[in-house]
Structure 1
Amino acid sequence: MKFAITASDRYLGVWEAFVAQGWEPVKLFTTPVDNRLHHHQAVLKYARERGIEAQISPLGEADLEDLAQRGCDALVVASYNWRIGDWRPYLRYAVNFHPSPLPYARGAYPIVSAILGNHDSWGVTCHRLDPQFDSGPILASRTFPLAADECHESLDLKVQLAAKTLAADVAAHFGDYWENARPQGEGTYFKLWTTADRTLDLTRPVDEILRRIRAFGLIECLAVVNDVTVFVHKAVGWKESHDYRPGTLVHVNALQMLVAVQDGFIGIVEWSLHPPDVPIGTLHR
């Protein structure tokens, strides 16, 4: 089938998987990126090498009409910042690859919640694209285990790998999966995180603090130390009895700071006074 795809570099594997199964790409839609957490150089290069048109602006009704005129059968959504309108008057199919085991964890960027919730498994789901985000009938899904010390970056890579494997399966059995897609039913929804979600409470236990740091990874957490807000690049911690009041700065070595917490110590070993250049936007859609 002929298809258009929305993607950033983290989902290039989805595009490659469909092509490997004989699908014919007609157009790429991508978005502006921060070149820190998400990029689009690789997908643009992939399009350019194959003579595929690329668009870095919202996909509108005129674009859907143009796809129909090109004989495009399907739209494959894999990472997109903008809402897509009603595709049904123009295309036969549209699917979305979502980075969670739907119907659990609908929402723009749920992998942070996977770690904050201390889940022992996660997944990727391919579903029909419906007007309500992440709610369409499920074609297929793939799950995988999470480690006890899972971090944002390791989970993101696991999601990318699972998405590519799932895409190959979906592309190979698309007709059957589409016809037998199962309704999601009730599910859960996770809002995009806020600054408060990223802020560390240095009076809490070591494990809770380190989990939050792992959950946000390169997005970075904030911490207030001696009334100064810092952005935490890297931290370590351990449990140990002490007599310090939780939240107290107890030791400094060069730029490393050791803070007493409820049941031990957190060492903020890499930090900055400036926030990372990561827009708080929709990284998966």
Structure 2
Amino acid sequence: MRYIFWGSFDFAQGVLEQLVSAELFPLALVCNPDRPAGRHEIITPPPTKAFALANGIPVLQPDDMNNDMLRDALARLKPEVFVVTAYSKIIPNDIINLPPYGTIGVHPSLLPLYRGATPIQSAILAGDEKFGISIYRMDEKIDHGPVLAQTEITVEENKRTYSYCSQLLAKEGGMLLAKTLPAYCAGEIIPSPQDESRATYTKKISTDDGFVDVAHDDPTIILRKIQALNPNPGAFAIIDGKRTKLLAATRENGTVVITRITKEGKAPSDARIVLTPR
């Protein structure tokens, strides 16, 4: 099976790792260009690039999607199908439809729920117990195409952090894709249209969304924000007149406790801030 993998971020790397573990090596990886990162703006490659190069996978890093050279490079590889997850750029429709079997998306939600860029954070903020992965055929709309396969995963409340859920769903998504992709290309799967009446959409999360009032907000909402919004953009409060980052929290015997913070101008430290139920 000849496929090209599109993805740039940690979630995409987790999916790709499972495909490589299953001996399903892509013809190439398409990812974002290297970008300045960190306080010193050091030019840094996307997480997927280092993994791909370490495994002998050629890498393409287009800056412009409307580029004939990119189309020619993709066509020369003669892919049967594209796989896209956590790529961040809008892929033109003619490229989506370039391979004979189209383009397959991997989305960390039970579509049509939580379409858009922040499905994991949105599910945590909503207090969902059940998370999921959808493998679907992409079309010109966001997370809209027919579904090939899904898997549902229950996550207990104290493990429901963005980092944990993202790593878990990437692993599960990669394993599901390793089974689904060959079957789809062999004509063994008929995609099922999504139920538009159940569709929900996520929104872009801003720094302001991370603010909590530890004296007045519902402790459960505070817990969810700390779990969903770390490491970026992060949750924060004003404590003793200073901006304080809230890094971790848990529920102990029904009570929410903030367990790690960063005070303004200080290093991260352990804490024990017990939140009184409202």
TM over 0.5: yes
- TM-score range (shorter-chain normalised) is 0.7 to 0.9
Q: Deviation of residue 20 (structure 1)? A: 5.8
Kept in 2, the 8 Å contact 1:139–1:178? The answer is no
Query: Structure 1's 60 and 211: CA in aligned 2 closer, same or farther, altered over 3 A?
Result: same
Aligned match for 1:223, one of 237, 243, 246: 237
Q: Deviation of residue 131 (structure 1)? A: 1.2
| 2:104 aligned residue | 95
Query: Structure 1's 27 and 230: CA in aligned 2 closer, same or farther, altered over 3 A?
Result: same
| 1:137 aligned residue | 146
Kept in 2, the 8 Å contact 1:170–1:177? The answer is no
Q: Which amino acid aligns with 1:83?
A: I
The one-character-per-residue Cα deviations of 1:27-73 (angstroms, maximum 9, x if unpaired) are 211124658xx973454343354251332635445223421232122
Query: Structure 1's 236 and 170: CA in aligned 2 closer, same or farther, altered over 3 A?
Result: closer
The separation in 2 between residues aligned to 1:266 and 1:51, in whole angstroms, is 45
Which of structures 1 and 2 has the bigger CA Rg? 1
| 1:206 aligned residue | 219
Q: Deviation of residue 272 (structure 1)? A: 4.1
| 2:3 aligned residue | 3
Q: Which amino acid aligns with 2:74?
A: L
Deviates more, 1:162-171 or 1:57-66: 57-66
Is 1:196 the counterpart of 2:196 in the alignment? no
Kept in 1, the 8 Å contact 2:12–2:48? The answer is no
TM-score by length of 2: 0.77
| 2:78 aligned residue | 71
SS of 1:197 mapped into structure 2: helix
Q: Deviation of residue 13 (structure 1)? A: 4.2
| 2:179 aligned residue | 169
TM-score by length of 1: 0.75
Aligned match for 1:273, one of 245, 258, 264: 264
Q: Deviation of residue 191 (structure 1)? A: 0.7
The separation in 2 between residues aligned to 1:20 and 1:222, in whole angstroms, is 39
Kept in 2, the 8 Å contact 1:222–1:232? The answer is yes
The one-character-per-residue Cα deviations of 1:154-173 (angstroms, maximum 9, x if unpaired) are 21121111111111111231
Count of residue correspondences? 250
RMSD over equivalenced CA pairs, Å = 3.1
Is 1:160 the counterpart of 2:161 in the alignment? no
SS of 1:76 mapped into structure 2: strand
Structure 1 unpaired stretches of 5+:
241-263, 275-285
SS of 1:211 mapped into structure 2: helix
